[in-house]
Every structure is written in C-alpha cells, then in structure tokens.
Amino acid sequence: MYEGFIGWRYTRRQRGTRGRNAFVSFISLVSMLGLMLGVAALIVVLSVMNGFQDELRHRILGVASHIEVSSQRGMLEAWPAVLDRVRRHPEVLGAAPFIQEQAMVSGNGRVQGVGVRGIEPSLERGVAQFADYLRAGSLDALQPHSYGIILGTDLARRLAVGLGDEVTLIAPTATATLAGVMPRVRAFRVVGLFESGMYEYDSGLVLVHLRDAQALYRYGEAVTGVRLKVRDLFAAPAVVRQLAPTLPAGLWLRDWTQTHANFFRAVQLEKTMMTLILFLIVAVAAFNIVSTLVMAVQDKTADIAILRTLGASPASVMAIFIVQGTTIGVLGLTAGLALGLAIAHHLDVVVPALEHLTGATLWNKEIYFLSELPSKVLAADVLRVLTGSFVLTLLATLYPSWRASRLQPAEALRHE
C-alpha cells in the first residue's frame, strides 16, 4: 500500500533537509526518545518492584513462618499434641515449636535490643531456612543447657563479636533477690552467624535452643507456639481454615498473609502508584506525537493537495499520517523495550556504577531491608506496558491525521 510507503518516507529524515523539514524531523526524534525513556523507566521500575516483592516474601518466609499456632493465654503447654495433630494435614511439610521473646544483648560494652527465638534445631530445618543462611557455625551447635547463641551478621558486627565470643542476654523477666527485683541475666557463647539478607532480622534476631529459652524466661515445658510450613504458601489461608476445627479450643491460628498483611499491601500500593505515575510520563511522550504530526501536516500541505488531486481519498491521507505517527511510536517502544530489559537484567552492574559516578548511596539496606537491589522481569508486565503505550501512541495520531484528511486541495494550493 502506498500509504505505508509515503508515511515511512515522511518519518525518515531525508538528506539535505533544512529549515522546517529538519525541525519536524528533530521533533519526531524527541518524541521517539521520550517514548523510549518512558517505556524503559516503566519496565525497570516494574521489574524492581516485582523483584522487591518476591524477594521480601522469600526472605521473610525463610525466617518467619507460613502459619503460627499459639495459645490465647500466651503460653502453649500441650504443644506436643498440637504438633502431632497439624503434621497429619497433607499440605503441612514441617512443624516446629518455638519461643518468641524480647531481650537486650550486650557485648564489648555495646547493647542492642533484640528478638529472642528459642528453637529445636532438628525440627527448625523443616520450617525455616536458617541452615542455608548460616555464614559461620551450625544449627547443631545449639545444644540444650549449653547456652549457645546464633546472631545475625549485622548484629554481630554492631557488637563486635564473633564465633566463640560471649554475649550477655538481659531478659525482662524479673527475679526477686536479697538486693531487690532484678532482671534475669545469662551469658551465652556465640556458636553461629546467619545472614538472611533482611536487615530487620540480621540486626535484631538471635537464636537459642528451646530448652535454654524455657529456662531463661521461666516457661517450664511450655512454648509460645508451633510454626508450620505448607506446600503452597499461597494456600496458607485455606490450610488455616481446615486446621482450625481440628485443634482444641483456645488456640489462635495466623498465616503469613495476616502477620505481614500491611507490609505486603504497602509494597503493592507503592507498585500501583509508581506504575500510574510512569504511565503518565509515557502518555506525555506519546502525545508529543500530536505536535509532531500537526507540524508535519502543515509542512506537507502541498503534498497532501497533490495527492488529493491525483485521486487519493481522505481515508488514504489519514492513513499516511497514522502510519507516520505509529512508526515513531513503534520505534520508540522498541528502543525503550531493549533499553528497559538491558537495565533490568543488569541492575547489579548499573547501580554500583551509578553509585561510583555520583558518590551517593542509591540502595541502603537499612532502609529497604534487603542487602541487594532485586529485579524480576515478568512477561505479562512487559506486554501490558507495550500494549498500553501503543494504544496511547495510536490515539495521539488520530486527530492530526483526521485534520489532514479534511484538507481541501484548492485551499491548500491557493498560496503555493
């Protein structure tokens, strides 16, 4: 079709073009670059948000639990029966008792508030990934009544301690002595260091043996609750509904979508708002094509009149400028797709390079919880970006193309 040939010819900058023709070509290039940058930014941001959300879920649930069963009275005494009951569910892959309390940990004259988790190492492997996160030591080094402790790497760095060093746990549980009421204090030996990649855990969580935690916090034979790992983490709410009727009254079941609901909702809301803002940028770039085509129509008035005189229909004239506008859009979208995918797949190189050039810290793990900037490109997101951007580009071509098709040959040639 000649409309496509002429539209493509109008899009290309011809050799020797000057004045208005050169300016129209420059505006076309600017529109194309605007689309490229907008699409690339949208793909990169969506990839980072997807990676951030997925990595957070993986990291959090590698340390936390899919489901927690606890007592409404604070201590779960008949936990062996609960453990046996929940293990019978076909979706439950592992179950382990735990104690969760707060304490102050002191080392080398430095003090830090932490969460203390008492675990049974042999069972903990079935519900958490601490064994994979260990950078030194072993879970098996946590033996009952040996008072060993495993610290997060950031916490150990803050306290300036390492394997074999001693730290002191100060529990809020009070003990009556001749000198008055005193907090319970116990020395622990560091037997391991873990790094989950979540700053919240690496700087504020310590692991001790379940028996040592029971002794320190005076739990007796009780625990805080039982942690479960299920086959499909997204099926955790359904598993909770199925388990609840089979367990004794007075127990409280919570899955990860409840314990971390606000966190993941905030991440999803941030992703939605960032997508909307960047789509507006793409829209601005797309509607720059309007000004490009308006100027092209003004510049090609005589050409349009000659085409009409030779028998071209208004629809053909409209098609020429739609082809010109969509060509600009497709070239911009293609370049944006290539640039966006290149950056999204090489963020581990791009971010350090930018930090080196600017001297600024672009990714602070103390703020974003993760030690590295994640990225996950989803084909569905890329397809939505390209489809939405192309539709905006196509809409931007309609009005100028329609105005071109309404041009009368006699009126156009009057002043030529």
pLDDT top residue among 9 and 232? 232
How confident is the model at residue 10, as a pLDDT?
59
Query: Smallest Cα–Cα separation from 253: which of 27, 43, 50, 76?
Result: 76
- Look at residue 193 and tell me whether its pLDDT is greater than 90: yes
Q: Is residue 188 helix, strand or coil? A: strand
Percent of the chain whose predicted confidence (pLDDT) is above 90: 16
| 354-382 burial code (b ≥16 CB/10 A, e <16) | eeeeeeeeeeebeeebbbebbbbbeeebb
Q: What is the pTM of this model?
A: 0.63
pLDDT digit string (tens) for 9-61? 656 655 444 445 555 567 777 778 888 888 888 888 888 888 877 777 777 77
DSSP state of 88: T
Q: Tell me what the mean pLDDT of segment 240-254 comes to.
A: 87
Locate tokens 């509607």: which residue?
Answer: 287
Q: How far apart (Å, rounded) are the C-alpha atoms in residues 39 and 337?
A: 7
- Look at residue 98 and tell me whether its pLDDT is greater than 90: yes
How confident is the model at residue 191, as a pLDDT?
93
Q: Tell me what the mean pLDDT of segment 59-77 comes to.
A: 81
- Look at residue 371 and tell me whether its pLDDT is greater than 60: no
Q: Tell me what the mean pLDDT of segment 96-106 comes to.
A: 92
Range of weakest confidence among 66-70, 121-125, 287-291: 287-291
Q: How far apart (Å, rounded) are the C-alpha atoms in residues 385 and 41?
A: 11
How confident is the model at residue 140, as a pLDDT?
86
